[in-house]
Every structure is written in C-alpha cells, then in structure tokens.
Chains A and B, each alone.
Chain A
Amino acid sequence: MKRAILLGIALFAAIGLSGCSYNELTAKQQNVKGKWSNVESAMQRRADLIPNLVETAKMSGVQEQEVFGQIADARSRLLNATQAPGQAEGGDKTPEQRQAVIDANNSFGGTIGRLLSLNESYPQLRSSEAFMQVQNELSGTENRINTARIDFNDAVRDYNTTRNSFPAVLTAGLLGFKEEPYFQAEEGAKQAPTVGDANSLRRPTN
C-alpha cells in the first residue's frame, strides 16, 4: 500500500515538474522560432535590395568605392549565414547558428546608415525619384529588421526567463532546451564611418 502511495505522489510530482515546464518551454520556443523567421526574411530582403540601391547610386554619379566594397563583403557574409542549412531538428537553426547570423548582420556596421544618408552629401540624388524609392525600400527594410529584432528579443526574454526559473531550470538542460541568444544590435557601428547622427539607421528618409 505504501508503495502505491509513493507511486501516486511520484506521478503527481512528475506531472507538475515535467508537465508545465516542458509544455511552456515548447510553446515559448515555438514563439521564438516564429519571430526569428521574421528576422531572417527582413535580412534577406535587405540583401536583395542593396545591389539595387548601389546601382542606382552609381548611376547618379556617386563615388564611394570604399563603402560599396564594405557593403558587398557584409552582404555575402550575411547571405552565407542565413542560407546555411539548419542543424537543429526540422531544419531549424541552432542558437549558435542564429548567433552567426546576428554577427553577420552586425558586420554591416554603419555602412547602411551611410547609404541611407547619401542624399545629404549628394544633393543631386534628391531629384532622382528612382533613388528615393529604393532608399525608401531600404530604410523600410531597416525598420522591419529593427521591429523584428525587438519582437524576437521579447520572445527570447520570455523564453529564457521561463527556462532559467524554477522548476524549468532543473530539467531544461536535460530536455535539450538551450538558452537562446538575444539579438544585440550593431556593435560595429562605432568604428564605421558615419555621416549624420548615430540614429541615422532608423531615420525615415526623404
């Protein structure tokens, strides 16, 4: 009889311990994955747009070979990172791979901001509607990346908090729930040449 009681208690505890933390972690991890896919599609969009903007700028007589070169390098790093096949289950990216994408993204440094403020140093661009439109598209993409980044970080914070709280912290490691990296923005922006204020990445252009 005693054994039955113990069994009952053990089962009850098992429901409590594994049940709520496992389900909750899974739900939150799914949310993180969903938000991450928005981040990647915004980055992909950026990579697609950059050549357009650079071409349009070149056609309008902009001579910024150094910036264009840096952008081309950063763009190919970004494409390599986003297109790497996912190594987690179901083709998803592992937290380490996400970190690689984030690093590649940050390797653009201030170059995007430089592109977006070209019309300040080259007034002739203001009269080029083609350039202005591509510039709108690119700054819209920067805004999307930022929005997706904030949404992703919210989801990660929610997940990590649960993962590192009692009781999930007892089982999360065993069950393969890793801590997710936050998307820290633009470390490299500090060394890059900048025109205009530090917030020029975010500024709507006209």
Chain B
Amino acid sequence: MRQRSRTIFLYPLLAALLCFAAAGNAFGQRTASINESPLPAPTGHVNDYAGVIDAATKSNLEQRLRNFKTDSGVEIAVAVVKTTGDRDIFDYSLAVSRGWGIGSTADDNPGALLFIAIDDRKYFTHVSKDLEDELPDGVVGNLQRRFLVPEFRKGDYAKGINDTVEAYIQTYQSHHDGTAPPAQAPTSTRRSSESPVSWSSVFCCLVIILFIVLMVWAGNRQKGGKSKDDHDRWGGGGFGGGGGSVLPWIILGGSGGSSSDSSWGSSDWGSGGSDWGGFGGGGDFGGGGAGGDW
C-alpha cells in the first residue's frame, strides 16, 4: 500500500521536472541559416573585402552614407567580396543583411545593402521592408543597369558603386521632397498582438481541474494506508502554497505570444575602430531588391 502511494507522488513530480528541463532545451538549434552573416562584423558602411574601392572614394562614400543616415534614418551598407562560393548570391547577401542587422530595431527601419561578388561578376541590392516604397525592385534594377553595370564593364568598380549608391539616395530624397511626411504604412504584420484567450484556455483549466479531482480521488482510495511517516516526509503545505497562484498564472499564460524575431541582429561590435557605432540591429529584410550580372 505504502509503495503505491509513493509512486503516485513520484509520477507528477517527474513529469513536472522533465517538463521544465525540456522547456530550457527547446530554443536555439537552427540550421545554417539566412539569418547569420557569413562575413565578419562590418567596420563601417562600406566594407570592401575584395580591395576594389580606392581610399578616397571609400572615405567620401562612407561620409556620405553617415550623413545620409543622420538626415534620414536610412542605413545603406555596401559589401564587396571576391566570391560567394557555392552559395547563391541572393542567399549569401540576405544572410549578410540580416546578420549585420542593417536598419534600426524600431518599427520603421529602412535599410539597404548593395552587395557585389567581383569574381562571380554578380551584384544584388537588398532593400528592407520599410524602404520598399521608395526603392521598389524595378527601380533598383533600373538604377543598377544604368549606373553600375556600364562602369563595372569598364572595370571602374569604385565609380559604379559610388554612382549607384548616390542614385539610391537621390531617389529616396526625391520621393520625400515636396510630399507630406511619408505615410508609413505598416508593411509587415509580424507583430500580431492579439491574445488568444479563448475556449482553449478554458478547456485547459477544465483539464487541470479534472486532473486534480482524479488525484484527490486517488488519494481517498489510499486512505487506509496512510501513515504519519508520509506526512512528515512530504512536509504538509509546502506544495500547497503554490496553489493559490495557479489560475492567474494560466490566464496570463494565454497572452505569451511574443515572437522570436529578436533572435537576429545581436550586435556585438561597437568596440571597434573610430566612431563607428555599428548598424541599428534591425535586419528586417524580406527578400526585396534586385540584382543581376555584368
């Protein structure tokens, strides 16, 4: 008899313990993803890993982009690599734009990345969700065909990059000049804040109550085998103290719908050179933009 009453204690305890252990484990574990940058942390707006931009152009462009960011809040980054290896340039550069966290973490976080793979002779510009109104894919493609491709064919990479970025800035500014403050239509619906307190939470409570009733019933059936020893060992009231908070806990639980979006854009730079403070950490890129080859 006493043996059986022990096991009744042990199963729920074991279950609860396992449950907490499993909860700790469930996060993390991503496959090589489009959220982590294959490149090291950026050192500024212009990152030339292939060595094709001369120092003067680079510092001018860097300054231009910093000023533009201060004026408009738009973060434009440039990355030049030799090759993306086996990976498609789209995937590779998307991972860079998200991993670097280009754009702020605010709700409205425009940003763009002009990405070039010199030896692959390919380019792609990623446009974040909040910049798609000003720089739709067709316009981005058009500007690249006009300003980037001709210069790249001549081998003047620095000028092609500089002119293209300048064209993006001008396009952005002409979009905003003379018009009222842009209607910032929320283009992404990822923050859905509806809280699903519904029949299912009620049902959940019912299940728990049923469980409790069953346990008590099981306890009653054991009454014959009751011993003082048990009582002392399990410290009466120790667990019961938590009981009062069960219902609020469960009701609150229904609104725990936070998304895992914050997993990207953890910015661990900033200790680096000069006054470069890193990108905003937004990285809100959904695949918009255009690219091609030359």
Contact = CB atoms under 8 A, between A and B. Distances in A.
Q: Do A and B bind each other?
A: yes
B22 A1 contact: no
B246 A14 contact: yes
B137 A140 contact: yes
Interface stretch (B49-57, B74-82, B219-227): B219-227
Nearest to A11: B243
B195 to A, nearest CB: 9
Given A34-B192, A165-B26, A2 B290 contact: no
A70 B139 CA distance: 28
B231 A1 contact: yes
Contacts of B34: 147, 150
A202 interface: yes
Nearest to B293: A206
A204 B242 CA distance: 59
B182 interface: no
Contacts of B220: 3
A16 B20 contact: yes
Contact of B200 (A148, A150, A176, A205): A176
Interface stretch (B63-71, B158-166, B257-265, B268-276): B257-265
Interface string B195-230: 010111101100110011001101110110010001
B253 interface: yes
B142 A146 contact: no
A146 B287 contact: yes
Interface residues of A, number: 72
Interface in B111-132: 122, 124
A13 B239 CA distance: 10
B185 interface: no
B39 interface: no
Contacts of A11: 212, 239-240, 242-243, 246
Given A14-B212, A171-B207, A204-B290, A6 B260 contact: no
A176 to B, nearest CB: 5
Interface in B128-154: 136-142, 145, 149
A205 B257 contact: no
Nearest to B223: A2
B122 A8 contact: no
B250 A136 contact: no
Contacts of B8: 6
B192 A30 contact: yes
Given A11-B246, A12-B239, A144 B286 contact: yes
A42 B198 CA distance: 30
A84 interface: no
A10 B212 contact: yes
Contact of B22 (A27, A34, A158, A165): A165
Interface stretch (A18-26, A73-81, A97-105, A182-190): A18-26
A150 B244 CA distance: 43
A3 B216 contact: yes
A30 B257 contact: yes
Given A9-B9, A129-B142, A147-B287, A22 B204 contact: yes
Contacts of B211: 10, 13-14
A155 B260 CA distance: 9
A13 B12 contact: yes
Contact of B260 (A12, A19, A31): A31
Interface of B: 8-9, 12-13, 15-20, 22-23, 26, 30, 33-34, 88-90, 94, 122, 124, 136-142, 145, 149, 188-192, 194, 196, 198-201, 203-204, 207-208, 211-212, 215-216, 218-220, 222-223, 226, 230-231, 234, 236-243, 246, 249-250, 253-254, 256-260, 285-293
10 contacts: A5-B240, A37-B192, A42-B287, A89-B198, A136-B140, A148-B286, A166-B19, A167-B15, A174-B203, A174-B207
Interface of A: 1-24, 26-27, 29-31, 33-35, 37-38, 41-42, 89-90, 129, 132-137, 139-141, 143-148, 150, 154-155, 158, 161-162, 165-167, 171, 174-176, 199, 202, 204-206
Given A6-B216, A13-B211, A29-B257, 10 more contacts: A5-B230, A7-B219, A13-B15, A13-B16, A22-B253, A27-B256, A34-B259, A148-B287, A162-B26, A175-B207
